[in-house]
Amino acid sequence: MLILGSFPSTASLAAQQYYAHPQNQFWRILGAVIGQPLQELDYAARIAAVQAAGIAIWDVFASCQRAGSLDTAIREALPNPLAALQESAPALRRVCFNGRTAARRVREVEALGFEALVLPSTSPAHAGMRFEEKLARWRAALQVGA
């Protein structure tokens, strides 16, 4: 399984870690889904736990121009080569998109033969949905081991 975000936030780029902004709910949600206290672990342990659960993390964009961290500010985006996933990750079956901006490439992923699911963004900018609802949707989509 692969979780695709759009592009790392300023905090993530500075920390060289996915989902480093303290208000981003990614680690809290994913931890609840896989039954691991990801928020309490150091970054290397988080990544190891996620990989052990059969999940990878990546972004749909390799680079972009953006003032701040909002997806709506992304300009001149260079896409990551998602078609390469067929060769580099032959066991990959399901791709989950973290939010609508990442999901702009859902048709491309489906055309490659992967199951593609769009999930509510874990970003603090997506505050219109309660945590419990986001968690329920992520839990249903990820179904670790399914």
Select which of 9, 24, 36, 122 is catalytic. 24
d(CA 23, CA 127): 10
Can 24 be counted among the known catalytic residues? yes
What phi, psi does 61 have (nearest 5°)? -110, 135
**In this structure, what DSSP letter does residue 80 have?**
P
Please report, to the nearest 10 degrees, the dihedral formed by the alpha carbons of residues 68, 26, 134, 140 taken in order: 140
Annotated catalytic sites, by residue?
A: 24
